[in-house]
Amino acid sequence: MINEKLPKMWYGGDYNPEQWGPEEWKEDHRMFKLAGIDVLTINVFSWALNQPGENTYDFAWLDETMDRLHAEGFGVVLATSTAAHPAWMAKRHPDVTRVDFYGRKRTFGGRHNSCPNSPTYRKYSARMASKLAERYKDHPALLLWHVSNEYGGYCYCDQCAEAFRVWLQERYGTLDAVNKAWNTRFWGHTFYDWDEIVLPNGLSEEGEGNVSAFQGISLDYRRFMSDSLLDCYKIERDAIREFSKEVPITTNLMGTFPQLNYFDWAKEMDIISWDNYPSLTTPVSETAMVHDLMRGLKGGDPFMLMEQTPSQQNWQAYNSLKRPGVMRLWSYQAVARGADTVMFFQMRRSAGACEKYHGAVIEHAGHENTRVFREVAELGEELAKLGDTLLDARSDAKVAICYDWENRWAIELSSGPTVELQYANEVHKYYDALFKQGIQADMVGVEADFSRYDVVIAPVMYMVKSGFAQKAEAFTAAGGTFVTTFFSGIVNENDLVTLGGYPGELRKLLGIWAEEIDALPAGQYNQIVMKKPVGSLKGSYNCELLFDLIHAEGAEVLAEYGSDFYKGMPALTVNAFGKGKAYYVASSACPEFLQPFLKDLCADQGIVPLIEQIPAGVEAVRRVKEGRSFLFLLNHNAENASVNVGEGQRRELLSGQTVQGMTELPGRGVMILEEV
C-alpha cells in the first residue's frame, strides 16, 4: 500500500485553503467528512506564498493548515509548490523564464513557465523542497510527497542549448558519433565544433506540428528535454530524501502526454500517479488503455488516480458535465485497472481565474445539496466499506501491448509516408479490439519482461531499439505469439534506416521483406482478402492508411490485398519461429478484422474472454490478490445490460449479494465479483 498510516482506498484530492478563509475552512471540513474524504493534496501552487522574497520564507499558513487538517482527521499529500515560480524570481533572475519554439523570451505568467535548465530555478526549487522536508518530515498528517505538478513544456533558451551540447557529449562521446547518428552529410550539416549545434525549433530545423528537416536532431532534443525535466524532479526528490527517508514521493503524470518518456520517469518514482481527464466523446477503451499504460510503467504495480473532475473540465472545447453515475463508473474503471486511490481536482471551486469553472466537490453554491456532492458522498461511503480489500491487487493478463514514447516521437517526426499516421491511435486499435471482447491486456514498454506473457503485440514498431529484435525472437522461439504491423522495423534508435529491406531487424522473425510502402488519403481503402478461412476469419475486410508491399520468405501468406496494382500481394502472414508464431499485418485493419483475428490468436494460446459474449458497452476487468480474484463489470451504457457471470456463485462486494448466471447490470452500474 502507499502508506500504512491509511490502509484503505484513498479518497480526496487537491485542496487550496489559501484561497479561502476560516469560515470556508470550517464548512469544508464538515462537508469533506460528509463525503467520506480522508486525503487532501495541498501546497501545489503556493511558492509565492511560501517565499515572498529571495531570502524570505513564511510557512506559518502551512503550519496552521497541516495542524488543522490533522486535528480534523485528514491525511495530507504535501506538494512542493514549485510548479509555478514567483513573480519576484522572474523579475530578478530572467534566466528562469523560458524561450518558446519561435525564439521568443517569455515574461512572468501562466504556469509551467520555468526553464528546466535554469540554475536559478533548480537552486530555489531544491531549496524549497529541502525546507519543506526538514519542516514536515515527522508531521503526523503527512502521507505522501508530491513534487511540482504535471511536468511539461519545452524551452529553447541559450541555457538549454549549452546543456543540450553537454547531454550530447555524454550520450555520443564525440562529434563524429553525433554526425553519424544524425546523418549530417545530408544537406551539408556536418558539425566541426560543439557550439555549432543549435536547437531544433522554428528558427532552425523544425516547423509547426512535428515537422523536422533532421529527425535525428529533433528526436534527441525530445529525449534531452524529457531528461531535463526529469532532472528537475530528481533534484527535488533528492532534497526531500535528505530529511524524509521513508515517506513515498511522486509527481502526477498525464497519460499518453507526448512530451515526456514516462517509462524513464517511472524508474525514479516511488509510485505512479496520474491525472485522468477524458472528454464526453473519448472512447472508454482509450481511457482504459491509458490506465493500463500507467499501471505498466512500473511493471504492473498499482498506481494513484491523482486527479479527475467530479463533474466537468474547464479547458476542453466543450466542457460537458459527467452524466449522473458516470463519475462513480469512471472512478471504478480506474480502480479496476490498478488504482489504489480515487482523487479529484478540485475540492472547492476557485472564485476567480481560469479554473473557476472546473468542477469541484464543493460547487460555487457552497453547500452539500447538489447532485455532484451527493454522488461524491455515495462513492465515499462505498470506498470506506471496501477498506483494504483491493489494495495492491494486480492484473493477471497474458496479453501485452507494447508502447514506446521514443518510437512515437520518431513516427510523428517522420517526413512520410502519411500525415494521418498517429501512433497512439494505432496502438489503441489493437487494445480496443481486445477490450470489446473482454480480453485483458497489459500495456508495457519495450524493456518489459515478455516471458510473463503468451501474446505480445507491438503495433507500428517503426523504431527497433538495440536488443528488441533479439528479445522478440527469444519470446517467440519459446512458444509465444508475436504480432507486429505495417511500418515496423524501419529505423534504429537514431532514426537511421536499417538497410537491406524492411522490416530490418525483424525480418528474420517475421519471414517477410517489404519492398515499398503505399499511402492513401483518409477515406480510401484496400482490402485484406483471406486466401481461405482461418479460424473465424473469412472473406474480405477493409484496410487503410498505409500498405506494405511485402514478399514472403518463409512466412505463410494468410491473406492478400484485394485491389490496386498490388492486388494479390500478401496482406497478412504468419511465420513459424521455434515453438511460436510471428504475425505481420501489412496495413491498418478495420475492427471487423482485428476482433476475430486477435480472439482466435489468443484462443490458440488458451486465453479466453473474461466474459463470453460480453454486451456492447460493458467492460470486464480482473484484479487478483493473494489467491483472491475480483472481476469488475462496468456498464458504460445508460441502459441496463444482461451479463452472464457464469454458473459458479459470486459475491458482489458493493451490495453483498450473491449472483450467478444471467445477471442484470444497471445502466452505468458497477459490480465487483468474487468467487464464493
Active site residues: 150, 307
Residue owning grid cell 533558451? 157
* Helix then strand then coil, % of the chain, to nearest 5: 30, 25, 45
CB burial of 556-565 (b: ≥16 within 10 Å; e: otherwise) equals ebbbbbbeee
CB burial of 73-89 (b: ≥16 within 10 Å; e: otherwise) equals ebbbbbbbbbbbbbeeb
Element (H or E) spanning 132, and its range? helix 119-136
Enumerate the β-bridge partners of residue 456. 400, 482
- How far apart, in Å, are the Cα atoms of 291 and each of 262, 272, 336, 339, 438? 13, 11, 9, 8, 16
Torsion of CA 47, 52, 53, 58, to 10 degrees: -90
Cell of 77: 499529500
Query: Do 515 and 550 meet the contact criterion of CB atoms below 8 Å apart?
Result: yes
Rounded to an integer, what distance in angstroms lies between the CA atom of residue 442 and that of residue 435? Answer: 11
State whether residue 653 is helix, strand or coil.
Answer: coil
Chain-centroid distance, C-alpha 643: 30
- End-to-end Cα, the chain, rounded Å: 25
Sign of the alpha-carbon dihedral angle for 113, 117, 118, 120: positive
Query: Do 479 and 466 meet the contact criterion of CB atoms below 8 Å apart?
Result: no
Query: Do 327 and 376 meet the contact criterion of CB atoms below 8 Å apart?
Result: yes
Torsion of CA 3, 4, 7, 11, to 10 degrees: -30
Cell of 451: 516471458
Non-local CB neighbours of 46 within 8 Å, separated by 6+ positions: 18, 62, 81
What angle in degrees, to the nearest 10, is found between the helix axes of 371-386 and 326-336? Answer: 30
Non-local CB neighbours of 282 within 8 Å, separated by 6+ positions: none
Over its C-alpha atoms, the chain yields an Rg (Å, rounded) of 26
Rounded to an integer, what distance in angstroms lies between the CA atom of residue 301 and that of residue 289? Answer: 15
Burial (0-12, 13-18, 19+ Cβ within 10 Å), 207: exposed
Q: Which of 662, 635, 657 is nearest to 646 (CA)?
A: 662
